Amino acid sequence: MRFLGSLHIAVAILLLTIGVGLYADIRNEQMHEQNLRIQTGLERMVRLNQSLTSVMSTAVIEKNSLRAASYNSLHTKLEATMQEVQALTQHMTLAGEILALRDEQRALRAQESQVFVHMRDEQWDTAYKALLGGDYVMALKIYEINSESAVGALTIELANIARQQAQLRQVTLLLRLAAVVLLLWAGWRYSRRLQAELAEQVRLRGEVTAANEALEEKVRLRTAELQAANSQLETLSTTDGLTGLANRRRFDKYWAEEWQRALRQATPLAVIMMDVDHFKTYNDHYGHQQGDDCLRRVGEVLRATVRRAGELAARYGGEEFVVVMPGASLTQAQETAESILAAIRAEQMPHASSPVASVVTISLGVAAGTPSPAGDRAHMLNEADVALYDAKHQGRNRVVLSCQG
């Protein structure tokens, strides 16, 4: 379509002119800033040179070399300023004049070095003639005149650049106006086409609306079915199929969430790790079916014992179980662990092959604390696991607290 081609051309012109205009504005601002820095540097050079001459003159007139003690620091500042101005003007036509100024300045410093020699030898009359004689004064005047000329040349050069930037902005403005006119024409043509297509769109919209309503109803019914299936799947994916407790996946997620909550709220958190004593020999003696029944009864005990809001009992793996107790201190976690231990004993599940007792028993390790940003949730689990190992080492069928609690 011709009007679409015109639209693309107009947009391209607008983007191009906006880019050129921004470049011109940025360049103008940079040149203005550079101008200020160069002018400041030139003025500082003149002042420092005058200060050097004044220091030398005062020392010679008063015949006191101590009055020239600040000469070296002033000279260092002058050299640094000259280097800065030279760097700022290296791409300008002014660069040659700055180099000439630097050569003249070095010639002045060379003459001043001779004056220093005479001062050191206390040849004050000779120093006076060398400093205030015709050659030095003439060189100083030429340097000052050339400095003023450099400032004038800088002003002229920047004025020319500013004029070029202004012309560039005028050209971009005209191009923008042309692009706007082209956009208006293309927009008018496009609106006519839209009006022609509007009636057809209204007709199609009615058909689409009817089809969408039917489709939305089907989607709603299907979504409800999927949500129910997902909810059931989520429950199955986080539940241990044998004991009905939360599985390891659910525990890992819950433990991470509760650790972060306790960290934010600075509240205590406790964990109990437990293991059925000599479960392998139980399986070997009674068979795996009876072993599964044993684990189910342990799960029932945990569900009946761990009932506070927020607490979670989970099967950690094999015959290992774990309980998460948000907000619980070490003492409270110990009490819960003792209750679980007593409840398992009260089940009186026979365990003829156990060297610990004639019934099924468990060993429990308890760890608790208030999480800190420098802490690690895996470390607290490890503390509970170490306490569980200590319980087994001490003879099993008992609760052992973490020494770090």
Q: Which residues are catalytic?
A: 319
From residue 403, how far is each of 379, 395, 398 by CA, in Å?
Answer: 13, 18, 16
3-state secondary structure 280-291: HHHHHHHCHHHH
For residue 330, report the phi and psi dihedrals to the nearest 5 degrees. Answer: -65, -40
Give the tokens for residue 258: 């509760």
Q: For residue 69, which amino acid is it?
A: A
Let me know: does 140 contact 104? Beta carbons within 8 Å: no
Question: If we measure between CA atoms, which residue out of 220, 254, 292, 229 comes closest to residue 377?
Answer: 254
Q: Which helix (H) or strand (E) holds 252?
A: helix 248-265
CB proximity list for 349: less than 8 A, separation 6 or greater? 294, 297, 359, 360
Query: What's the CA gap between 403 and 405, in Å, rounded?
Result: 6
From residue 85, how far is each of 7, 38, 260 by CA, in Å?
Answer: 49, 6, 58
Let me know: does 273 contact 318? Beta carbons within 8 Å: no
Q: For residue 252, which amino acid is it?
A: D
Q: For residue 201, which amino acid is it?
A: Q
Question: If we measure between CA atoms, which residue out of 62, 59, 150 comes closest to residue 112?
Answer: 59
CB proximity list for 389: less than 8 A, separation 6 or greater? 365
Question: If we measure between CA atoms, which residue out of 132, 136, 154 comes closest to residue 37?
Answer: 154
